[in-house]
Amino acid sequence: QVQLVESGGGLVQAGGSLRLSCAASGSIFRINVMGWYRQAPGKQRELVAVITSGGVTNYADSVKGRFAISRDNAKNTVYLQMNSLKVEDTAVYYCNLDARGYRYWGQGTQVTVSS
């Protein structure tokens, strides 16, 4: 079993920055993909950014150039640095880990960007 615990959400003004963290624990296969998804009210959950255990990244077009995903494999932790935040970035952000055909989710952390 794998547990994911997110931290770092909150309220920020447009143009500001936040950094999300997600620590994984449990039986973690070393080859995996970790990432962040988000869900705004009334909308479907969408990919924000993912990173493989080898460091390959993929971003949603809406966050390219503003967000940066990174990970520390020794700590089984993934980070999301969010800069130049926009009101439309407001959502619950969920940490995700995919490994060996299994998908795990964190409980979510709220990010609210005010105008």
| Segment 72-114, tens digit of pLDDT | 999 999 999 999 999 999 999 999 999 988 999 999 999 999 9
Read off the pLDDT of residues 45-70 as tens digits, 9 standing for 90 and up: 999 999 999 999 999 999 999 999 99
CA distance 104 to 83: 26
